[in-house]
Amino acid sequence: MKLRFMEWDLGGKIIFIATCLALASFFFNWLDIGIDAENGFLQGGVFFIVCYIYPFVKVVREKRMNKIIAYSFALLAVLFTIMYVSSRTIEFLGETIRGAAAGPYLFMVACGLLTFGIFMRKY
């Protein structure tokens, strides 16, 4: 299977880049509490990539995408990431400690790019 990146529309290119950025976010720390730091693979964030499969496969195979389904998956990815970040926030000695590191926030940026790519997709 050949990837014809230069022949894709702008939306397809953005979806491809967003998926690559989401995959890269798993190598960043997703949990950092000072004494312990874990990346997205160890924290289970890698399962969030399931939400990217439908748009990515439609772009790579150059098939028509149902935008309602694609938007639903993008929204699920955002909701899962928000749930992850909020679950890593705790109260300790009267102070709020955020345990989420850079990884989930980079994944959120990738979710925004995915949504924009779906919007820009022509077919």
> For residue range 65-100, what is the model confidence (pLDDT) as tens digits?
999 999 999 999 999 999 999 988 777 788 787 888
94, part of any domain = yes
Domain that includes residue 45, residue range: 8-120
Torsion of CA 35, 39, 44, 46, to 10 degrees: 170
Banded model confidence at residue 44, pLDDT cuts 50, 70, 90: confident
Q: Which of 8, 10, 39, 36 is nearest to 23 (CA)?
A: 39
1, part of any domain = no
- pTM (2 d.p.): 0.89
- 86, 74 Cβ separation under 8 angstroms: no
Residue 1, classified by CB atoms within 10 Å of its CB into exposed (0-12), middle (13-18) or buried (19+), is exposed
Q: Which of 49, 46, 63, 73 is nearest to 12 (CA)?
A: 63
Number of domains making up the chain: 1
2, part of any domain = no
